C-alpha cells in the first residue's frame, strides 16, 4: 500500500466557485475526506458534481477557493497518489489488456518493471485474469468497466474518486466492486463516490454530501442524516389485533406493514405517548421504532424544494458544455 498522509484530512476543498458564462455552476463548496472514509457525493443532474470533482482533481481551475490533497495544492507527486474512475470510460478497444495497464500504471509513476506485477494483482483481484490476453474490444461492457476499475486502483492510490462506478455491471460484479471499495476503505484509502443510486450510498458510504444548484445542502453521516429526517410514522410489531390503536390519542392512521403495523401520528401525537398507551394496555411489543426515511426519500424531499426545473436544466447545459 502507498504511503499515507500522516495527519488531518488528506483531501480538503475550501470555498470552491466555478462560473461558466453568466452562471455560477459551483458556489462556495467545501468538503473534506478523511483516511479510511467513503463519502457519497450526490445531487441531481446539473447540480455541479462533475465540475466540483474536476476542480478537486485539478482538471478545472476554480475561480475562487482552494484544493489541498495530502496537505498541499495538487502537484505531480500528488497526482500519482490519486485514482480516478470517470463516468466516461476511455480504454483503447484495439489494444490488449497488458500494455494498456502497463501504460496507465507508468503514467502514475510506477516503474516499468513493477507495472506488470501490479497489473496482474489487480486483474486477479477483480476476476479478470482469464481475459488477460484479450483486446479491450473483445470484452463485454461490464468487463470493460471492471478493467477500467483495475486500471484505476492498480497503483494503490491513497485518494480514490469513483464517478458512477457501477454503470453497466451485473449484480455479481457490482458486489465484487463494492467489496473491493470496502476493502480499500479498510486499508485507509480516502474515497469520493459520486452516484445517483441512493441505495449504494446507504450501503457503502460513511458520510453523504448532497449538492443542489451548485451549493452543499446536506453533509453528514448516513445514519445521522436519516435520524434527523425521521418521519411522523412509527413501525410496530406486537402480539395484538392492532387496528384498535386508531382510538389512541395522537394516532391518525394505522396500516399493515410487513410483519407489523405502520402508525401515522397527527399534529398532537408523539411516539412516547403511543408507546406508553400500548404498554399500559398490556400489549406485548416486539418492535417499536420511528420510521427513518431512505436517503432516496430525503434526496427527493430536498431536491423538490429547488426553484424549479428551469434552473437545473440551465446548470446541466452549462456543465455539459464545459465537459465537452
Instruction: Tell me if 59 is assigned to some domain.
Output: yes
Q: Are residues 208 and 169 located together in one domain of the fold?
A: yes
* pLDDT at res. 241: 64
Q: Does the structure show a pLDDT above 50 at 313?
A: no
Domain that holds residue 248: 231-290
The whole-number average pLDDT for the span 63-77 is 93
Instruction: Tell me if 99 is assigned to some domain.
Output: no
Dihedral (CA of 313, 317, 319, 320) sign: positive
CATH number for position 271: 3.30.70
Q: Give the number of domains in the chain.
A: 2
Q: Which three cell numbers stand for residue 227?
A: 435520524
128-139 pLDDT, tens digit per residue, is 999 999 999 999
Q: Are residues 72 and 176 located together in one domain of the fold?
A: yes
The whole-number average pLDDT for the span 116-137 is 95
**Residues 81, 158 contacting (CB under 8 angstroms):** yes
* pLDDT at res. 99: 94
The whole-number average pLDDT for the span 97-116 is 95
Confidence of residue 238 (pLDDT cuts 50, 70, 90): confident
* pLDDT at res. 263: 82
Instruction: Tell me if 275 is assigned to some domain.
Output: yes
Confidence of residue 240 (pLDDT cuts 50, 70, 90): low
Confidence of residue 227 (pLDDT cuts 50, 70, 90): confident
φ, ψ for residue 197, nearest 5 deg: -95, 100
Torsion angle, alpha carbons of 4, 33, 65, 212, to 10: 160
CATH number for position 194: 3.40.50.300
**Residues 221, 191 contacting (CB under 8 angstroms):** no
**Residues 280, 272 contacting (CB under 8 angstroms):** no
- Cell 480514490 appears where? 160
How many other C-beta atoms are found inside a 10 Å radius of the C-beta of residue 268? 10
* pLDDT at res. 117: 95
192-210 pLDDT, tens digit per residue, is 999 888 889 989 999 999 9
Amino acid at each position: 500500500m502507498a504511503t499515507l498522509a500522516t495527519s488531518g484530512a488528506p483531501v480538503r476543498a475550501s470555498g470552491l466557485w466555478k462560473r461558466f458564462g453568466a452562471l455560477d455552476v459551483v458556489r462556495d463548496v467545501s468538503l473534506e475526506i478523511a483516511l479510511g472514509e467513503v463519502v457519497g457525493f450526490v445531487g441531481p443532474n446539473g447540480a455541479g458534481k462533475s465540475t466540483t470533482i474536476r476542480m478537486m482533481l485539478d482538471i478545472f481551475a476554480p475561480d475562487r477557493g482552494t484544493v489541498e490533497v495530502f496537505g498541499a495544492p495538487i502537484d505531480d507527486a500528488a497526482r500519482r497518489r490519486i485514482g480516478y474512475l470517470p463516468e466516461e470510460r476511455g480504454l483503447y478497444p484495439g489494444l490488449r489488456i497488458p500494455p494498456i495497464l502497463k501504460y496507465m500504471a507508468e503514467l502514475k509513476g510506477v516503474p516499468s518493471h513493477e507495472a506488470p506485477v501490479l497489473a496482474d494483482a489487480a486483474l486477479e483481484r477483480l476476476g479478470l485474469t482469464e481475459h488477460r490476453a484479450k483486446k479491450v474490444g473483445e470484452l463485454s461492457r461490464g468487463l470493460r468497466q471492471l478493467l477500467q476499475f483495475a486500471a484505476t486502483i492498480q497503483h494503490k492510490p491513497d485518494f480514490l474518486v469513483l464517478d458512477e462506478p457501477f454503470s453497466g455491471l451485473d449484480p455479481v460484479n457490482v458486489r465484487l466492486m463494492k467489496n473491493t471499495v470496502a476493502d480499500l476503505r479498510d486499508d485507509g484509502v480516502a474515497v469520493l463516490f459520486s452516484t445517483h443510486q441512493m441505495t449504494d450510498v446507504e450501503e457503502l458510504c460513511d458520510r453523504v454530501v448532497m449538492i443542489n444548484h451548485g451549493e452543499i445542502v446536506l453533509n453528514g453521516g448516513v445514519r445521522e442524516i436519516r435520524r434527523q429526517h425521521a418521519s411522523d410514522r412509527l413501525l410496530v410489531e406486537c402480539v395484538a389485533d392492532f387496528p384498535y390503536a386508531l382510538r389512541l390519542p395522537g394516532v391518525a392512521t394505522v396500516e399493515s406493514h410487513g410483519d407489523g403495523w405502520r402508525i401515522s401520528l397527527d399534529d398532537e401525537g408523539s411516539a412516547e405517548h403511543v408507546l406508553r398507551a400500548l404498554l399500559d394496555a398490556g400489549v406485548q411489543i416486539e418492535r417499536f421504532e420511528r420510521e427513518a426515511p431512505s436517503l432516496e426519500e430525503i434526496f427527493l424531499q430536498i431536491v423538490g424544494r429547488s426553484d424549479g426545473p428551469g434552473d437545473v436544466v440551465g446548470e446541466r447545459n452549462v456543465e455539459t458544455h464545459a465537459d465537452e
